[in-house]
């Protein structure tokens, strides 16, 4: 067994040891983070905030909500499943889903740091 496969199996064992409620909370957090990420990207693509009308804002929130719901459904399939079994048989996709969640969390963290840095600039410096 290669190093990467053993690392993957260790992650799978850790995820399988989580209680069902813990896995549900984990996918909920990942889904919320993904919805926030999609909202940030939609805001960036929509342009200047002064030009928003109510329909644009509603559409952005609907898109981010739908993306968060889709992430939750995918996470449910990957981590929880539909059968109530004592020890779930998690596959590689469960690890990939958690790694995707970590990637989204890191991207949002970087976005937050950049936004705070831009907000702290003096008003004389144009962007």
Two structure tokens written together for 73: 């459904």
Residue located via tokens 């705070």: 116
The predicted structure's pLDDT at residue 30: 95
* CA–CA separation, 29 and 126 (whole Å): 36
- Please name the helix (run of DSSP H) or strand (run of DSSP E) that holds residue 20, with its range, or none: helix 20-46
Sequential DSSP letters for 21-78: HHHHHHHHHHHHHHHHHHHHHHHHHH--GGG--HHHHHHHHHHHHHHHHHHHHHHIII
Q: How confident is the model at residue 121 (pLDDT cuts 50, 70, 90)?
A: confident
* CA–CA separation, 97 and 109 (whole Å): 18
Question: Residues 53, 58, 60, 104: what is their CA dihedral angle, to the nearest 10 degrees?
Answer: 130
Contacts of 32 (CB under 8 A, 6+ apart): 68
pLDDT above 80 (res 50)? no
Could you count the other beta carbons within 10 Å of the beta carbon of residue 22? 12
pLDDT above 90 (res 5)? no
pLDDT in tens, 19-37: 889 989 999 999 999 999 9
What pTM was computed for the model?
0.82
């Amino acid at each position: 067994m290669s190093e990467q496969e053993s690392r993957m199996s260790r992650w799978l064992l850790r995820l399988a040891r989580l209680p069902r409620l813990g896995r549900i909370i984990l996918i909920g957090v990942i889904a919320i983070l993904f919805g926030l990420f999609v909202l940030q990207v939609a805001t960036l693509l929509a342009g200047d905030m002064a030009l928003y009308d109510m329909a644009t804002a509603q559409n952005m929130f609907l898109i981010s909500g739908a993306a968060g719901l889709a992430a939750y459904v995918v996470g449910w399939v990957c981590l929880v499943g539909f059968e109530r079994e004592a020890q779930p048989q998690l596959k590689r996709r469960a690890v990939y889903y958690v790694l995707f969640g970590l990637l989204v969390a890191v991207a949002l963290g970087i976005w937050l740091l950049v936004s705070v840095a831009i907000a702290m600039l003096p008003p004389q410096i144009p962007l």
